[in-house]
Amino acid sequence: MFKKILVCLDGSELAEKVLPYAEEQAERFDSELVLFMTVSEPYFITPGVPGIPGVPVDTMNRENLIFTEKNAAETYLKSVADKILSEKKIRLSFESAVGIAGQAIIEYSGNHGIELIALATHGRSGLGRVILGSVADYVIRHSDLPVLLIHPKTKSK
C-alpha cells in the first residue's frame, strides 16, 4: 500500500518513539523507510530598535555551521538506520535537509514519492507551542498524504 514512508526525526528520544510503528508498516507493506531530519538554517536576529523590528543577519560562518549540522544529522540518521537494519530486514535510506522542519518535510515528501509521513508529536501546548510551533500540526495541515502521528507518553518524575 505504501511504497515509501518518511519517518521524521529530530534527534530526540521522544521523536524516535514513532520508529516501531513505521517499521511495522514497512514490514507489512514491503515499504522503504526514509529516515529524515531537518537542520535549521543558522542566523542571528539583530536587536529591535523601538519602531524597527530586528532582522536576520547572515553570518560569515553560516556555511560552516550548516555543513557541521548536516554532518551531525547524517551521523545520527546512520546510527538509527544501522540499529534498525541489525534487527529487521527492510529497505531503508536516510536524508537530511536544511530549512524549517514542517516546510522541509512537505517539500521532500512531494519531490520524492513519499506515500506516508510518520512522526511523533512532542505534545507542547500553551506558550511552548506558540513559541516553538508544532511541526506535526504544520504537516497535518499542509500535506495531502496520510500522516501516522503518535503522541508518546513521557516518563513521570
- Residue 132: its pLDDT value, please? 42
- Residue 52: its pLDDT value, please? 62
- Put simply, whether the predicted model's pTM sits higher than 0.85 gets the answer no
Q: Which cell is 73 given?
A: 544529522
- Residue 41: its pLDDT value, please? 76
- Residue 129: its pLDDT value, please? 46
How far is 135 from 19, CA to CA, in rounded Å? 17
- Residue 25: its pLDDT value, please? 95
4-150 has which CATH code? Answer: 3.40.50.620
- Residue 131: its pLDDT value, please? 42
CB 148 within 8 A of CB 117: yes
Tell which residue, 11, 116, 121, 111, has the closest CA to residue 70.
Answer: 11
Extents of the domains making up the chain: 4-150
What averages of pLDDT result for each successive group of 10 residues across the chain (157 residues)? 95 93 95 95 62 61 85 97 95 95 96 96 57 76 94 64
